[in-house]
Amino acid sequence: MNQSLLQSATTATLARPETLRFDLGGELGRRLKAVTEQWLLPVAHANPRILEMFRERDLKPYASQMPWAGEFAGKHLTCATQILRLTRDRKLRKSLDRFVGELVALQADDGYLGPWPKEFRLRKGGPTCAEPWDAWGHYHIMLGLLLWHELTGDPRALDCPRRIADLFVRRFLHGTEKLHDTGAHEMNQAPVHSLTMLHRLTGEADYLALAKKIVAEFALPPAGDYYRQGLADVPFHRTPKPRWESLHPIMGLVDLYYITGDETYRRAFESLWWSMLEGDRHNNGGFTSGEKATGNPYHRGAIETCCTVAWTAMTVEVLKLTGNPIVADELELTLFNSGFGMMSPSGRWVTYNTPMDGTRIASPNDATAFQARPGSAELNCCSVNGPRILGLVGEWALLAGKPGELFLNYYGAGTLDAALPSGQTLRLTQKTKYPVGGKVKTAVGLDRAETFILALRVPAWSARTRVMVNGAAQAAPRPGEYLRLERVWQPGDAIELELDMRPHVWAVPTQYVSLPPWVSDWTVYGPIPRRPGEAAPPTPDLVPAPEAIESAPEAIVANGVSFPGRTLRSAGGLLHLNDRSSPTVIAVTEWHSDADGDVRISFDADYWTQWWVNGHEVYSTMRQG
């Protein structure tokens, strides 16, 4: 949210100027146009269930849907609104105005706006899953609507989140229930962030009180305990809930710092972010491995699109909070590598996994295929979220500090307009092929001379940076800092920036051993169908039980049905077992050692995975995040 519109005890170091306008060219501009035309405009028409799930929530028989299905509309609105801020596309604005109207019309009388039947709303247990991410879905809808309200002033987009918040207040602040009791804690505690946003906009005390209560509930097992762990400088990957969804409730901490001025919220927030950077930001700017933090940036687990989008959103907040240009370096690294890499150049699809090297597979034909439903064949957690990586550029490209200070973070072809203290508009026009080349020429557009500070980001990796203003060389800037150019700027002034584009080598530290992929013949049983009505099955009833398997049996009986084994050889250490309708398989392999001794085994898999070694469960995503 724009800092000047909000009620705060303290403010961020940097903020997006209220008057900021964009006309972006180059590859970013091309991709913004492509994703608008190929995805944002047709997605709701091509996938009508994005709204119909709310209209039909009480119809029997209840639809089989994912625990997080309620997030799709909010994620779509969030990324589309942030892209609209960059493009001002008239068709997109008209489309979103209609989408918002239909969405808010589906809100129940009590404020509920999720896809679950009345008896299952905002509680643990659902007709097709054990722990619906219902509060999580409401969080994303609130976030999208609040961004739309900020951009357009649409009163519907403020009234609807307020009614959602009022429902939460009645249930979880003034009532006897705890939000903690809804389960799926790293997801369902995310409304702490939207509640703080809404409080800063409205001043409603109950929203702040509930946000503080949710933070207190962070400490109740098995929730993530983010506040206390952050204050104790515990690395994020060692916290109880190191999954990527945790970044959204963590972002509530920085808002609480702005609201209250309590430095402990800031310290916890910053500590968690720096540990994420150290342990889980990959060389391509992607975040996490196998959907969670591991403390190993060289881990070859899947780098999910949603994880990297959440990382970017949190990193934007760190940049605004601290004003540290190294944080802006991180945003650039992610945008130009994992960000562009996760998206088809056509704009039509994103990936689930954008690896450090290897193959990118189009969603929904990858690990997200199981999320497809009639009427929403293209909807999944990543497809509705990925384009936000582009929209978030508007939150960090050009930021304002104190009056008369502007900080230029984004280098790329196009123009950025912002008002100066006098009221006149500054237009910065960049001509460059960056990041293909290191030269950036910026024309300063003014109607009349004015004194102000333009601070240029000098990337930490650019050891030799040259800057000239109107052909005059400036003092050599220091890497990893802003070069503050304070002068009486004249119409037609020109800045030339030349960054050090020499290749860099990132050596893997010795403590991170690169394990060769394990190549083995596996005996695979299944795929095992879901029980009727199940969307996300737990471990099936198996005979023999995993604890009793000492060697690969001829067949396994699952839920009363026999499945004979078939041999499948791993390729590059990977078994591709995804199936759109039947996501459960059992795979067994044997490995024999010539002598006693320790054997180090590295493994990873997608969500809902359990591993046994010699009959002992050694890992479960259902219990260990």
Tokens 């597979």 found at: 361
- Looking at residue 339, the DSSP 8-state letter turns out to be I
- Alpha helix ranges (H) inside 335-377: 340-341
For residue range 117-173, list pLDDT tens digits in order. 999 999 998 898 889 999 999 999 999 999 999 999 999 999 999 999 999 999 999
Q: How far is CA 351 from CA 44, 78, 364, 369, 382, in A?
A: 19, 19, 8, 11, 7
pLDDT band at 581 (very low <50, low <70, confident <90, very high): very low
What per-residue confidence (pLDDT) applies to 603? 59
DSSP string, 138-149: HHHHHHHHHHHH
pLDDT band at 5 (very low <50, low <70, confident <90, very high): very low
Q: How many CA atoms does the CB half-sphere of 597 hold within 13 Å?
A: 6
What per-residue confidence (pLDDT) applies to 102? 99
Q: Which residue has the higher pLDDT, 259 or 366?
A: 259
Task: Using the CB atoms, write b or e for 453-462: b if 16+ within 10 Å.
Answer: bbbbbbbeeb
pLDDT band at 580 (very low <50, low <70, confident <90, very high): very low
Which range (142-146, 404-408, 569-573) has the least confidence?
A: 569-573
**Amino acid occupying residue 123:** R
What per-residue confidence (pLDDT) applies to 60? 94
* Burial of 294 per CB tally in 10 Å (0-12, 13-18, 19+): middle
* 587 Cβ neighbours under 8 A, 6+ residues apart: 522, 523, 524, 525, 568, 575, 577
Domains of the chain by start residue, with CATH: 3-395 (1.50.10.20), 402-498 (2.60.40), 521-624 (no CATH)
pLDDT band at 578 (very low <50, low <70, confident <90, very high): low
What per-residue confidence (pLDDT) applies to 550? 82
Taking residues 71-79, report their average pLDDT.
Answer: 99
In angstroms, the CA 49 to CA 374 distance is 8
Q: Which residue has the higher pLDDT, 191 or 506?
A: 191
pLDDT band at 521 (very low <50, low <70, confident <90, very high): confident
The sign of the CA dihedral 459, 464, 469, 470 is: negative
The sign of the CA dihedral 48, 72, 585, 533 is: negative
In angstroms, the CA 255 to CA 328 distance is 20
What per-residue confidence (pLDDT) applies to 4? 38
In angstroms, the CA 388 to CA 430 distance is 23
For residue range 195-213, list pLDDT tens digits in order. 999 999 999 999 999 999 9
In angstroms, the CA 511 to CA 404 distance is 47
For residue range 15-47, list pLDDT tens digits in order. 999 999 999 999 999 999 999 999 999 999 999
In angstroms, the CA 192 to CA 256 distance is 9
Q: Which residue has the higher pLDDT, 126 or 605?
A: 126
Q: Does residue 612 have a pLDDT over 90?
A: no
Q: Does residue 597 have a pLDDT over 80?
A: no
In angstroms, the CA 289 to CA 304 distance is 8
89, 395 in Cβ contact below 8 A? Answer: no
Q: Does residue 279 have a pLDDT over 80?
A: yes
Supply the mean pLDDT for the chain: 91
* Burial of 616 per CB tally in 10 Å (0-12, 13-18, 19+): exposed
* Residue among 411, 367, 413, 394 nearest 605 (CA): 367
What per-residue confidence (pLDDT) applies to 1? 45
* Residue among 342, 392, 338 nearest 368 (CA): 342
List the structure tokens of 63.
Answer: 């639809």
What per-residue confidence (pLDDT) applies to 538? 53
